[in-house]
Amino acid sequence: MKKLSIQNLDLKGKTVFVRVDFNVPVTGGEVGDDTRIRGALPTIRLAIENGAAVIVASHLGRPKGVPEDRLSLKPVRVRLSELLGTDVLFAEDCVGDQTEEMRKKLVSGQILLLENLRFHEGEKKNSPEFAEALAKGVDIYINDAFGTAHRAHASTAGITEFVATCAAGLLVEKELEVLGKIVSAPQRPFVAILGGAKVSDKIPIIKSLIKQKVNKLLIGGAMAYTFFKAEGYTVGKSLVEDEMMPTALEIKKMAEEAGVELFLPSDHQVVDSYDPLNSRRVMPIEFTNAGLVGLDIGPESAARFEAALEGAKTIIWNGPMGMFEEKPFDEGTNAIAEAVAKATENGAFSVVGGGDSVSAINQAGLSESISHISTGGGAALEFLSGNDLPGISALDDVKAQNTH
């Protein structure tokens, strides 16, 4: 069922609560990367241009339900004000008497940013009392934080029980449209690239992609070693989830029976665990011995993966190919970024999600060469796996906007 959009609503004179994802890096009191803030601007601008008074709310980091100065959204208020070209008001808390007073005085065209939602335990616990406090004086609720839509928190799910009209923001609407097309009718050949550390994190999406008959499935990153060890290879001290080895074999069998080509690395960059700083070398997977640790795919694997993308019409990529945060073990991930961009130029529709994958695209200056960069790694995987996202399910359906 299609969800109600902010574009369907009369916002004039209304108080609109917009849940955004401003979980951005802050260093020395300044925002390091404002990509997520920029992503929410179209929805905020649409609301104020149409005469709404706007309350903006987000989490930042992982506070333990109590205020932490280093996780305050004050630096975000400064950057948001700069980007919008208007002074954004700031509430020192997201609920409480002082915040309520500020809300009451808010007039059309004004924006009030609330302090970090996770400074209260009630946010992650989806406390009805906290959700009701957030909803006070709110006419319309907008979810524009796709990256948190797979969490049933007070500001993504609970609040919708206390607001008459609940709709998707422009960013969430775009995500649903793009990912929805991939789930329902992907252009073929359809290739998926999955990386990261753990097979257990990706089981639902892997099985879902095989059932959707993805044509090729490319697996890199540390999760590949669970597959190799399950097949009897020596993987040294590389990261392995031993308890997932039967699942890895099951996935291989599923892919084979479904006619899905499964690609695993053929070579990798390794270091000796006794001399990690001076022992880096590339070797075939089968030559790995007991003291070695695999930290990235090798050049042969990168070339094979790139060749597998040739002629693709749909590509999804989530997860790095190695220990991306440490040079030179970012080489495999960067090679995949280049390959996905090249395939996109050659006619593929590409979707990249997940922090490290998106970072690789951005660092390589290739973001303009990707069809769609998803703002939610975990949420995108959940959606593509066919699971309901609590933050989306809670929104009004187009045909039922008055039933809340």
Residue 277, C-beta contacts closer than 8 angstroms, at least 6 positions apart: 271
Distance from first CA to last CA of the chain, Å, rounded? Answer: 16
Annotation says 36 is catalytic: yes
Report DSSP state, residue 396.
P
Task: Give the active site residue among 14, 36, 118, 216.
Answer: 36
Q: Catalogue the long-range contacts made by 362-365 (C-beta closer than 8 Å, 24 or more residues apart).
A: 362/35, 363/334, 364/334, 364/337, 364/338
- The three-point CA angle 5-10-12 to 5° equals 130
Phi, psi of 42 (to 5 degrees): -55, -40
Q: Does residue 283 sit in helix, strand or coil? A: strand
Q: State the amino acid at position 212 in one-letter form.
A: Q
Torsion of CA 267, 273, 277, 282, to 10 degrees: -10
Task: Give the active site residue among 61, 109, 291, 355.
Answer: 355
Task: Give the active site residue among 136, 174, 198, 342.
Answer: 198
Structure tokens at 26: 């802050």
How long a stretch of residues is the chain? 404
Strand partners of residue 269: 282, 296
* Residues 323, 221: Cα–Cα separation, whole Å: 8
Annotation says 198 is catalytic: yes
**Do 334 and 306 meet the contact criterion of CB atoms below 8 Å apart?**
no
Structure tokens at 305: 């993966």
Annotation says 378 is catalytic: yes
**Do 360 and 326 meet the contact criterion of CB atoms below 8 Å apart?**
no
Which residue is associated with the tokens 């640790």?
293
**Do 176 and 202 meet the contact criterion of CB atoms below 8 Å apart?**
no
Task: Give the active site residue among 158, 322, 378, 391.
Answer: 378
Strand-by-strand arrangement of the 165-168 sheet: 89-91, 111-114, 53-57, 15-19, 140-143, 165-168
Q: Which residues are catalytic?
A: 36, 198, 355, 378
